[in-house]
Chains A and B, each alone.
Chain A
Amino acid sequence: QQQVKQSPQSLIVQKGGISIINCAYENTAFDYFPWYQQFPGKGPALLIAIRPDVSEKKEGRFTISFNKSAKQFSLHIMDSQPGDSATYFCAASIEGNTPLVFGKGTRLSVIA
């Protein structure tokens, strides 16, 4: 059973455009939703995270939008740059209870 469904599997965006990656979860007990960024040959690194008490969190060009009723959250990358080309993973967990459950990842390519 896949607890966090991520889409699309791959994404190509023009430089300066907006990249949008979506995730949906099933377990309503989840209350922590991070996004990780992974460059080829490297381990993932935390990019941004949100808890369900807010509907949006912004850090620089990266924004998480959260819809609790729809059990969905998304990552928006504004003004996408070639350096943003990486694989992005959404994840979810129950605070203080379980390890992170990851989505299958989205491979983003930003082309000039």
Chain B
Amino acid sequence: DGGITQSPKYLFRKEGQNVTLSCEQNLNHDAMYWYRQDPGQGLRLIYYSQIVNDFQKGDIAEGYSVSREKKESFPLTVTSAQKNPTAFYLCASSADREGATGELFFGEGSRLTVL
């Protein structure tokens, strides 16, 4: 089935460690996104990529890094510089290159807990 796969679903990390969240899509979408969800805060954009080998910062990019070496993959690294990394992370993709009007398809999320 086509869709977006995020892994791992749950992840625990010690303070000071980097962690990478995986996002893979087989929808042949050009654009991919990472959002962070906190209770009562909605979805906040971390990074997005409209084409391979190119990506832009979102509203809360500090402490995060991404890469887009393949069209179907958009991993997110949560670095030790991120002050409050415990959150639910959502990856999404869209067929529209700008990603502004096309439907966003979301994965089921990765819940990161820093111990």
Interface residues of A (CB under 8 A from B): 6, 9, 32, 34, 36, 41-46, 49, 89, 93-105
| Chain B interface main SS type | loop
Q: Is the CB of A95 within 8 A of B100?
A: yes
What's the A-B contact tally at a CB cutoff of 8 Å? 62
Q: CA separation between A101 and B35, bound complex, in Å?
A: 10
When A89-B43, A99-B33, A102-B42 are in contact, do A42 and B108 touch as well, CB less than 8 Å? yes
Q: CA separation between A46 and B51, bound complex, in Å?
A: 23
A32 is contacted by which of B43, B45, B101 (Cβ under 8 Å)? B101
Q: Is the CB of B43 within 8 A of A102?
A: yes
Q: Is the CB of A43 within 8 A of B99?
A: no
Can you list 11 A-B pairs, Cβ within 8 angstroms, ordered by A?
Answer: A9-B40, A32-B100, A43-B90, A44-B90, A93-B100, A97-B98, A97-B100, A99-B33, A99-B58, A101-B45, A102-B44
Q: Is the CB of B100 within 8 A of A105?
A: no
Q: Which 9 A-B pairs have the closest CB atoms?
A: A43-B106, A104-B42, A102-B43, A93-B100, A102-B42, A96-B98, A46-B103, A95-B101, A32-B101
Q: Is the CB of A41 within 8 A of B108?
A: yes
Closest residue to A102 on the B side, CB-wise? B43
B104 at the interface (CB under 8 A from A): yes
- Kindly list 16 other residue pairs between chains A and B, CB separation below 8 angstroms, not including A42-B108, A89-B43: A34-B103, A43-B90, A43-B92, A43-B107, A43-B109, A44-B43, A89-B42, A93-B101, A95-B101, A96-B98, A98-B100, A99-B48, A100-B45, A101-B45, A104-B41, A105-B42
